[in-house]
Amino acid sequence: MSTLSGRGLRKEYGRDAGLVRAVDEVDVEIAAGETVAVMGPSGCGKSTLLHLLGGLDRPSGGEVWLSGRRIDNAGEKALARLRRTEIGFVFQAFHLMEELTAIENVELSALLAGRSPRAARRRAVELLERVGLGERAGFLPSALSGGQRQRVAVARALVNEPTVVLADEPTGNLDSAATLDVLNLFESLHQAGQTLVIVTHDARIAATADRLISMRDGVLVDETRLSGGTSGRLGALAGLED
How far apart, in whole angstroms, are the C-alpha atoms of residue 130 and residue 150?
14
Question: What's the confidence (pLDDT) of residue 241?
Answer: 52
What integer pLDDT is reported at residue 229 of this predicted model?
47
Confidence bin at 56 (pLDDT 50/70/90) = very high
CATH of domain 4-86+162-241: 3.40.50.300
Report if pTM > 0.75: yes
Burial class (CB in 10 A: 0-12, 13-18, 19+), 227: exposed
Which phi and psi angles does 121 have, rounded to 5°? -65, -40
pLDDT grade, residue 137 (50/70/90)?
very high
Q: Quote the percentage of the chain above a pLDDT of 90.
A: 73
Confidence label for 236 from pLDDT (cuts 50, 70 and 90): low
Predicted confidence at residue 227, as pLDDT, reads 61
pLDDT value of position 228: 46
Q: Confidence band (pLDDT; 50, 70, 90) for 169?
A: very high
Q: What size, in residues, is the chain?
A: 242
pLDDT digits (tens, 9 = 90+) for 143-157: 999 999 999 999 999
- The pLDDT score that the predictor gives to residue 57 is 95
Local confidence band at 15 (pLDDT 50, 70, 90 cut-offs): confident
Domain chopping of the chain, boundaries: 4-86+162-241
Give the Cα separation of 213 and 222 in Å (integer).
6
d(CA 237, CA 234): 5
Taking Cα atoms as reference points, which of 15, 4, 21 lies closest to residue 59?
Answer: 21
Quick one: pLDDT at residue 184? 86
pLDDT attached to residue 239: 52
Q: What is the pLDDT of residues 77-125, one digit of tens each?
A: 999 999 999 999 999 889 999 999 999 999 999 999 999 999 999 999 9
Buried b (16+ CB within 10 A) or exposed e, 37-75: bbbbeeebbbbbbbbbbbbbbebeebebbbeeeebbebe
| Pure H helices in the chain | 46-53, 76-85, 102-112, 117-130, 146-158, 176-191, 203-206, 229-241
Helix segments in 18-142, DSSP class H: 46-53, 76-85, 102-112, 117-130
Q: Residue 49: its pLDDT value, please? A: 97
